Amino acid sequence: MLHHYDTRTEPGERLSVRCRNRRASVCAPCSRLHAGDTFHLVRTGLTGGKNIPAQIREHPRLFVTLTAPSFGSVHRATTGGQRCHPRRNAGTCEHNRPVSCGTAHDPAASVVGQPLCPGCYDYPAHALWHAHAGQLWDRFTRATRRTLATAVGLPQARFRDHARLSFAKVAEYQKRAAVHVHAVVRLDGPNGPHTPPPAWATPVLLTRAVRTAARSVFVRSPYSPAVGELELRWGNQLDARPLRAFGDTEGLADDAVAAYIAKYVTKGASDTAAGTDYRVMTWGDIDAAAVSPHIRALMRACWRLSGLPEYEPLRLRAWAHTLGYRGHILTKSRAYSTTYTALRTERADHERAGLPVPDTSKVITDAHWRYLGSGHTPGASLIAAGIAEDLAMNRAVARDELRERGGCL
C-alpha cells in the first residue's frame, strides 16, 4: 500500500470540493475562477500564449456583435432627455394600449425592456428565434467562409486548403430578454493559429464578409398550423470591428475585449434579463418564478409551443428557463485557443509543484466516493464567508497598490 486516504478524520467525515458553478449568484469564488479561465481562453486566442503563437496578433481579428431582430416595441433606456418611443397622434393598438411612449427612462428602471403592449409582442417568434439561434450562428460562420472564398475567387471546397476561420463567442441576454452574440473572429492560415493567413486575408475583407454573411443567412422554423413558417434572421443592429494589432492605434484593444467577454460568462440567468437559474418543471413553477411579466410571458410561450408536435425537437419545455435558448454561454471553435480542461490541468500541476510525483504507471488506484450534498453547513458557511471577505480585502489592497504604481489588474 503506497498511500491511503479516507474522510474519517475530516470535519464532518466529509471532503469538500469546488462546486465549479460559473454563476456569481450561485458561488462567488468558483465564478471568479471560471471568469479568469474564460479570460485566458479568449485572450490567448487574441494575443497568443498557452501554445498559441504570439504572431496571431498579426492575423485579421474582429470583434463582432450580432443581435436578435425586433419582436415588438419595448420601452428603452434613454439618455440626454431623449424619449422612449415618441410618436405624435399615434393612438392606440387593437388592445387599447398607446403605441407611443413619451417618457425618458433611466437604464435601471424596471419598465426598460418590457413591451409597450404584451398583446402585440410576438412571443412565439421570440421563443422560436432563441430555439434556432445556434443553427443561425452555424449558418453565419459557413456563410462567412463562403463569402470569403467567393471574394478571392476560390472554389468553396478549397477554402480549407488556404485559410481557417476560428471564433469564440458568448451569448448575452439584453434587457428585452433576447440573446445578443458577442464574438471574436480570427482568420488563420490552413493549419490554424500556427500558420500565417494568406496574403488576401485582410481585416477589411473579413469585415465585409462578416457583414454580408450576417445579412444573408436565415433559418426557417418547422411549419406549424398554429404559427406558420417563420424566416428567422439576425437583427439589423450589427457591429464588426477590427482588433488592434501591435503598434496600431486604430481599433479595439484585444485585452479589453477578452475582459469584456469573460464578464458575461459569470452572469447567471437570474442576474440578467433572462429566465431562472433552475429548470422549470411545471406550469406552476413559471407562475411562481421571481421574474418580470415579460419573462414570464416568454417562459409561457416556450411551454405552450412545446406542446405542438412540430416543435418537439426544439425541447422548448426543457429550456423554458433560458427562454428557449439551448446554447452554451461560451462556445469556441476547436482551433481558436486552449481549453478549460487544459487550463484546469495546468492549475492543478502548478498547485502540485514541488511535491514528488510518483510513478503511477504500475499502480492500481481504488477509490469510492459518494456525493453527500452541496453547500456549506451553517457553521462552515460562517467560516467560508470570513475567508471570502479576507480574499476580497486582499484583492482590493493589491489592486489599490497596483494602481498607485500605475499598473492595472
List residues near Zn ion by CB under 5 A: 19, 27, 30, 75, 84, 93, 95, 101, 103, 117, 119-120
Q: How far is the CB of 111 from Zn ion (least distance, A)?
A: 6
Residue 75 CA, chain-centre distance (Å), reads 24
- Name the residue among 333, 349, 351, 242 with its Cα closest to residue 45: 333
- Name the residue among 67, 20, 37 with its Cα closest to residue 177: 67
Give the count of beta carbons closer than 10 Å to the beta carbon of residue 377: 14
Between 145 and 175, name the residue whose CB sits nearer to Zn ion.
175
Between 98 and 222, name the residue whose CB sits nearer to Zn ion.
98
Are 273 and 175 in contact by the 8 Å Cβ rule? The answer is yes
Are 183 and 169 in contact by the 8 Å Cβ rule? The answer is yes
Between 307 and 379, name the residue whose CB sits nearer to Zn ion.
379
Q: How far is the CB of 112 from Zn ion (least distance, A)?
A: 8
Q: How far is the CB of 103 from Zn ion (least distance, A)?
A: 5
Q: How far is the CB of 33 from Zn ion (least distance, A)?
A: 8
- Name the residue among 305, 283, 306, 308 with its Cα closest to residue 296: 283
Largest Cα span, the chain: 86
Between 30 and 252, name the residue whose CB sits nearer to Zn ion.
30
Between 248 and 271, name the residue whose CB sits nearer to Zn ion.
271
Are 39 and 259 in contact by the 8 Å Cβ rule? The answer is yes
Between 54 and 387, name the residue whose CB sits nearer to Zn ion.
387
Q: How far apart are CA 283 and CA 139, in angstroms?
A: 34
- Name the residue among 66, 62, 63 with its Cα closest to residue 233: 66
Between 101 and 219, name the residue whose CB sits nearer to Zn ion.
101
Grid cell 478524520 in the structure block, residue? 9
Rg (alpha carbons) of the chain, rounded to whole number: 25
Grid cell 485572450 in the structure block, residue? 43
Q: How far is the CB of 108 from Zn ion (least distance, A)?
A: 14
Q: How far apart are CA 55 and CA 391, in angstroms?
A: 36
Give the count of beta carbons closer than 10 Å to the beta carbon of residue 22: 21
Q: How far is the CB of 81 from Zn ion (least distance, A)?
A: 14
Q: How far is the CB of 85 from Zn ion (least distance, A)?
A: 6
- Name the residue among 11, 22, 13 with its Cα closest to residue 271: 22
Between 34 and 43, name the residue whose CB sits nearer to Zn ion.
34
Q: Which class for 254: exposed (0-12), middle (13-18), buried (19 or more C-beta within 10 A)?
A: buried
Between 85 and 233, name the residue whose CB sits nearer to Zn ion.
85
Q: How far is the CB of 361 from Zn ion (least distance, A)?
A: 33
Q: How far is the CB of 88 from Zn ion (least distance, A)?
A: 15
